Structure 1
């Protein structure tokens, strides 16, 4: 019986839950697997382990969460047992001063805000009239699997260009899922200049890369010298019906 793909412990805008099977099937032979923009880690958690693995994200709180799960999963689970879904708790976590929290409590805060907010953005308390509160904060022995998966993974919190410089070898494979071009709602700013810098860095690597991004004329122009595969993905994380539709995406590779 085929083993089902592992799910990440959080949701994240731009997550690759709908595309990951296609992406994983396209991953070439490699020794070192690197994710430049980790997010929820749908591809990482879905694929087979590589000999060496690196996950990176510019979001300090996101990376702290995965570091704490890697090293302190039982303690996070123990503390989460006492949490419940409430707007006042949500606002308290949202507005607290992070620098006064321990790394473990920062991880719990982040997990709470992501799991109890609308569209997992951490901004607004997510209430419903048709279903129960999200159960993600009531983990019981679920983080152990995540911790085991991350046991031999390097966890980084650097800019994408530094990660490319550090880990690029001919045996390296970079999975790149940057914030989509001219798309709002991401937690970190990613300008047109950042997109151009990413393209320039990828153009000159020794290893291989696979990049996922929204279908846009500028993007097609930037990557015209590479292999471009068109795919359609249905997104439903929106209150408006017109936003719940199929969107064109591109999978771009240098192999």
Structure 2
């Protein structure tokens, strides 16, 4: 089980074992909202795999890790976590950068920023700097990605393009009612997503925040409520559990339910 090279807001590090255990048999595995890829990097390879995200810099990172991991590693080899370096990377004009340098920039900014948002330099007196840019096994990441289609399109288009009876979609869209995402995903977008998923030939697993409107949208599907602990805040008292929903268009098997119970 690999860990992804970055963290992202809403990443599925704490839920991925449960999600993987409830996956049905499938030929093609698709993540229309890839993010950090916690679930993808945690599961066994499927015969066909597709990762997609609308964030061009994120997808460029994974494309470079697939095609040029040794060069990404070489550029990062002598990097340090420094506020001045963070500022320099942040102010770079990406239009004048190579794809490899853009990938390094993105990797550095996400892993050196507060809450992995790439906005402000992350620091703390009681913890060491994030070690992800120093402790990557780029060859293993490359091997995991080498037979994967890497897409940069809308999630709606990807679902329609790859939908087949043997396809499993893992959908982790931006949460409803939050403002922490770079790319806006409105209630109308959630309704469109629900409508598309309601008519697919394949199967889907969707994870989302526990919201009254989401429960209403997916009332005709299988819904499980789980509690997840997030700890992005600097204030200890602000770190607490949040309700999330795991929604499917198929019934979980008895075997998978037993696996899930072991994770409780």
Supply the distance in 1 between the matched residues of 2:133 and 2:209 (Cα, whole angstroms): 31
Residues 80-229 of structure 1 correspond to what in structure 2 (within 5 A)?
A: 80-139=76-135, 142-229=137-224
User: How many residue pairs end up in the alignment?
Assistant: 250
Deviations 1:220-244 (A, max 9, x none): 0000010101111111111234431
**Secondary structure at the counterpart of residue 179 of structure 2:** coil
Supply the distance in 2 between the matched residues of 1:48 and 1:109 (Cα, whole angstroms): 29
Distance 1:123 1:27, change over 3 A: same
**Secondary structure at the counterpart of residue 150 of structure 2:** strand
The question of whether the paired residues in 2 share the 8 Å contact of 1:173 and 1:209 is answered with: yes
Supply the distance in 2 between the matched residues of 1:157 and 1:221 (Cα, whole angstroms): 30
More deviation, 210-219/240-249: 240-249
Supply the distance in 2 between the matched residues of 1:93 and 1:157 (Cα, whole angstroms): 23
The question of whether the paired residues in 2 share the 8 Å contact of 1:169 and 1:207 is answered with: yes
Supply the distance in 2 between the matched residues of 1:55 and 1:19 (Cα, whole angstroms): 19
Counterpart of 1:58 in structure 2 is 54
**Secondary structure at the counterpart of residue 63 of structure 1:** helix
Task: Let me know the Cα RMSD of the aligned residues.
Answer: 1.0
Counterpart of 1:25 in structure 2 is 21
Supply the distance in 2 between the matched residues of 1:133 and 1:219 (Cα, whole angstroms): 37
Supply the distance in 1 between the matched residues of 2:244 and 2:131 (Cα, whole angstroms): 31
Question: Structure 1 stretches of 5 or more lacking a match?
Answer: none
More deviation, 194-203/238-247: 238-247
Deviations 1:27-51 (A, max 9, x none): 1110000001001101000011000
Supply the distance in 1 between the matched residues of 2:184 and 2:96 (Cα, whole angstroms): 25
Supply the distance in 2 between the matched residues of 1:40 and 1:137 (Cα, whole angstroms): 14
TM-score in terms of structure 1 length: 0.96
The alpha carbon displacement at 1:22 in A equals 0.5
Supply the distance in 1 between the matched residues of 2:7 and 2:185 (Cα, whole angstroms): 20
**Secondary structure at the counterpart of residue 210 of structure 1:** strand
The question of whether the paired residues in 2 share the 8 Å contact of 1:81 and 1:139 is answered with: no
Whether 1:40 and 2:36 are equivalent positions in the alignment is yes
Counterpart of 1:15 in structure 2 is 11
Supply the distance in 2 between the matched residues of 1:84 and 1:247 (Cα, whole angstroms): 34
Counterpart of 2:243 in structure 1 is 248
More deviation, 126-135/52-61: 126-135
Supply the distance in 2 between the matched residues of 1:136 and 1:74 (Cα, whole angstroms): 16
Question: Structure 2 stretches of 5 or more lacking a match?
Answer: 251-264
Supply the distance in 1 between the matched residues of 2:159 and 2:133 (Cα, whole angstroms): 34
**Secondary structure at the counterpart of residue 132 of structure 2:** helix
